Structure 1
Amino acid sequence: MLTCFRGNREEFYGEVLLLDERKITLTGNQGLKKSSRAAAILDQVFSLLQVEEVEFFGLRFCDDKQQMHWLDPSRTIYQHRELIGPPYIFYFGVKFYVEDPSKLKEETTRFQFYLQVCQDVRRGRLSCPAYLKPRLFALMLQGEKKMIDYL
């Protein structure tokens, strides 16, 4: 087989789905390669979101058996054997919760926590008693309206 048809083994193309439903496209043009540490991808996402309390967040990806895995920032993209792609699809999310979110220092961190909880409630991953659901959904809608007005 001719090498011109194989493509570049270092070429990287990926997408990160954020908690607010936006998508970030990551390519080799941003200095990313398959031999890059996964921390480089996380750094790009944290920079875009202006998240400083990075220890609470991570990127997940789905393998060919539909199992979710956390991206290990200390390993290269090559070393994540379960990762399928390109394109590589990552999901940004809360990896570690704090006991009291009001003790978080940054507003952007609290906002990302809020988005994660809203997403988990909507998708049924976080249970909520039936009697609280109407109030919770009303608060979520109110929060989203405030966010739209803010933007």
Structure 2
Amino acid sequence: MMCFRGNRDEFYGEVLLLDGRKLTLTSEQGITVSVHLVQVFAHLNLVQVQFFGLRFCDCNQRSFWLDPTKTVHQHRQLIGPPYIFYFGVKFYVEDPTKMKEETSRGLFYLQVRQDIRRGVLPCPTHLRPHLLALMQQGRNTNNH
């Protein structure tokens, strides 16, 4: 990661996406988080944006969601620059297969896979083979 060397009137941040890629955000200071969210959503070609958001970790590794109505600097626990954000599912739906947009379903899949691997979302032993089969099917679908 490169050091922030811009002037004090510029904002620099990185967003870690669910697929492991990074997205760099730059703008003028004082812009609301909603502007940055629009940049991320556009980069991902995401239409069903209401389910997703950006979060950050404070110095104690506690996670907080960015409030789109505030500027980045109004989030007191945020450390940086550079600012590191994590894109993710903020609101889960009961049945992601009923979502209209394929991109949203794919991002849900990536979030669930990540949460299971990190132990955030427990998976009962009897469901693991079925879940692994679904994950493999999703991976094969995404690679075509």
Question: What TM-score, normalized to structure 1?
Answer: 0.86
Deviation at 1:10, TM superposition (A): 1.9
Identity of aligned residues (%): 63
Asked if 1:115 corresponds to 2:115, the answer is: no
Q: Deviations over 1:24-44 (max 9, x none)?
A: 1112xxxx1231100111011
**Residue of structure 1 equivalent to 2:7:** 8
Secondary structure, counterpart of 1:131 in structure 2: helix
SS in structure 1 of the partner of residue 25 of structure 2 = strand
How many Å separate the matches in 1 of 2:38 and 2:58? 23
Partner of 1:127: 122
Amino acid corresponding to residue 20 of structure 1 in structure 2: D
After TM superposition, list the pairs within 5 Å mapping 1:1-151 onto structure 2: 8-27=7-26, 32-148=27-143, 150=144
Bigger Rg, which one: 1
> Deviation string for 1:43-63 (max 9, x for gaps)?
111001111111110000011
Aligned length: 140
Aligned AA (1:52): V
Of 97-106 and 134-143, more deviation after overlay is shown by 134-143
Structure 2: gaps (5+ residues)? none
Q: State the partner residue of 1:3.
A: none
The range that moved more, 126-135 or 86-95, is 126-135
| Structure 1 residue 8, shift from structure 2 partner | 2.3
1:57-110 per-position Cα deviation (integer Å, ceiling 9, x unaligned): 000001112111000010011211111111100000000111222221111111
TM-score for both structures, normalised by structure 2: 0.89
C-alpha distance in structure 2 between counterparts of 1:64 and 1:128, whole Å: 29
Partner amino acid, structure 2, of 1:84: I
